[in-house]
Amino acid sequence: MIALSEGALAEIRAHGMETYPEECCGALLGAVEGSRPKVIRVERLENSRGSERQRRFWIAPEEYQRVEKLAEGEGLALLGFYHSHPDHPAVPSEYDREQALPFFHYLIMTVLSGCPGDVTAWVLSEDRGSFDLEESLVEAPGE
């Protein structure tokens, strides 16, 4: 199960609305408390995809390196990534699976006609063959 703050979820929703009809993407920064990862904040990342930005995102290596250093500098861990699916369900695509790594958590948000909708959490299986739906918990401030 992955937990995230109300503030982090609100930021993901705002990002998806602002970038619609293109996919947004960003990093999940936080810590592991016991065995549960907790997203403390998100960091918006540039969708560096040159084409098909309404169906695909790509994080450039320098953006990845930047967010890793940012997390380390803030004493946080890079837990995973989020992205939006404009006018499509919050379910990973085959492209998402091909680009993902098993040790990260992935949040996917549907954005329908510019309005944020469902947010789902996923973990890639170790053999990279499929995503497993992960339970998520939104925590109010102070939890």
User: Tell me, what's the pLDDT at 33?
Assistant: 86
Q: Are 119 and 3 in contact (CB under 8 A)?
A: no
Percent above pLDDT 70 for the chain: 98
Edge to edge, the sheet with strand 25-33 lists 131-134, 115-124, 105-112, 77-86, 25-33, 36-45, 2-5, 136-139
The answer to which of 47-61, 71-85, 106-120 has the lowest mean pLDDT is: 47-61
Spatial separation of the C-alpha atoms in residues 11 and 44, rounded to whole Å: 9
* Domain boundaries of the chain, sorted by first residue: 2-139
User: Tell me, what's the pLDDT at 142?
Assistant: 61
* SS3 assignment, position 123: strand
User: Superfamily for 2-139?
Assistant: Cytidine Deaminase, domain 2 (3.40.140.10)
pLDDT tens readout for residues 109-131: 999 999 999 999 999 999 999 99
Spatial separation of the C-alpha atoms in residues 54 and 32, rounded to whole Å: 33
